[in-house]
Structure 1
C-alpha cells in the first residue's frame, strides 16, 4: 500500500538557474492514497438472538459481495446449556439466483429465475438432498394484468399445474393422487372483492371453502369468518380505544373458545400487551422494547427485547417467564 506523501515535491528551477521561482505553477493534485484491505471490505452485519423458551441461540452474519450484487449469509444455531440446535447454514442470495447449503445434512437448495423472450419468465428450484425440483414458466396474457403459469415437478409426477392469476385473485388446477391411488383434477383458488366498505375473501381448497369479510376504519375492525362445509363460524373484533390503546377479541362459535388482547404503546419503541386464551386456559403479559413489528435496523440501539409472563389458570405455580433478545452489530 502506497504511503501518503508527507512533503510536497520541490519546485522546478526557472531558466536562469538562480533557484527562485516566484511564479511557479502549482504542482498537480496528488492521487488519493490507495485504501487498505479493511477499508475496501464490504460492511458486515452480525445479528444475535436468544429465545429462552426454546433455549436456543441464533447468530447470523451477512455482507454484500460481488460489488453489492449478492449477499453472503451464515446462520449458526447453538442450544443453551449444551443443547444441540440446527446445523449451520450458508447462503448466497442474488436477485435472480440463490443457493442455500445445510452443512449438517450436506444438502443444498438452488433457486434461479430468468426472463425469456417477450413476457416469458422462467424460474426453477432444485433440492440436491431429496433430488427433487420444480420448473415454472409465467407469461402475461396480452396487455391485460392477467398472468398464466405452468409448473411441473422435476422429475415429473403427473400432469403439470396450471395457475391463472387475475387482479382479484387466482385459480389453479393440478392433478391430485387419492389414498386409493386414483388421480383426479383438483381446483384451488382465492377471490377478493370489495363489498359494503369492506373486503370479502373466498378461499377454496380441497373441497373446503373459507369465506372471510373484513371491515376496517380508523378505529374499528370487524372480521367474521365462515368455513364450509363444516359451518364453523368465528369472528374477530378490534377496537382502537385511544391513539396508544387497542383491544382485540376473537370468538369461535363451534368450540366456544375465545381470546382477548389489550395493547398499549407507551412510546414508539416501548409497548406492552396482556391477554387470555381460553383453549389453553392461559393468561399472559409481555413487554416489548424496540419496534415489535419492525426490523432490527429500524429499532433504537439496534436491538429488540421481549419479556413475557405466562400464567396457567389451572396451576398458577407453574407460571414461567419467557424472554427473547435480538441484537445487531454493524462492522
Structure 2
C-alpha cells in the first residue's frame, strides 16, 4: 500500500477527550532533523493510555497544534549531521519525548538515542505496539535486585505491561503471583505466573519480596502490608507522595517508573543501556522467546476514535494505527 506522500498529522486543538481534541492537519513539508535527530517515516503508530491522559492533562509545554503520540515504527528518512550507526531505510521503533511532536503523524523527528533497530523477522506492525509497555516492564524489573525464587506480585497483570512483567520476572526465576480479572487467569498462567488471584487481597497467601503495581498510587499503597521487610514497591502507573509505612518499620524501598526521564536527564551510558535492552527484547519477541499479543489494527483516519476507545472498559488490549491507509487528499 502506498505511503502517504503529503505529510499529515493529528494535532490537539483543546483539552478534551481524544475524539474532539484531535484535528487532522496537512504539513507543508517533511520535518527537518536537528544535529542529533532522525526523521522517521512512520508506517505504524502504537496507541497507549498515556496518549489520551496527556491530552486530557495538557502539559505546560504543549501549544495548540501539538502532535501527541509516544510510540511508532517505520523507516529512517533523514539523518541529523551528528548521527552515526543508522542509515536511510533502516527499520526502527521508538518511544518519543513527551515534550516534542509525537508519533500521530506520517513523519516524526526523534532523538537518535531513542531509536531501536527492528529485527528483519519482526513485523513493523507488531514492533509499533511494543516500546511503551515493553520498556516500561523492563525498567520496572530493573528496579529490583535479582533474588531467584523470591515471591513477587504483579497487580493489573492482564494489561500489556503486566503481561511482559510476568514473562521477564519468570525468566529471572522469581515466583510470580498475578492479580487480574478472572478472564485473564488462563493466559497469565501460560505466560509464567505460578499463581493468579482476583482483585481480592484475601486470596493472597504470602508476603512478597516485591510488588509491581500497575493501577494507581492508592492501590499501590494498599499493597504495602503484603511486602516483606526490606522489600520493594514499584509504582508503574502512578507515584506515592507519602510513604505507605512508618519510617524504620518494614524499611520498604519505593520505586517509580518513568521512561521519559531519560529525555530530561539521561546520560549516554543510560541511553546505550536502554537501546541495547530494547533491541534485545525486540529480538526475543521476534524469536518468540517473549510473547506479545497480536494488536488490533485501525486506519490512520480513525485515530481519534481509536484513541477514544482506549478510555473505555471494553477497549482492545493493544491498538496500532496503520499509516498506509491514510490516502493523500482524503
Per the shorter chain, which TM-score range?
A: under 0.3
The structure that is helix-richer by fraction is 2
Bigger radius of gyration? 1
User: Scaled by the length of structure 2, what TM-score is found?
Assistant: 0.23
Q: Normalising by the residue count of structure 1, what TM-score does the alignment of the two structures yield?
A: 0.23
Q: Which has the higher strand share?
A: 1
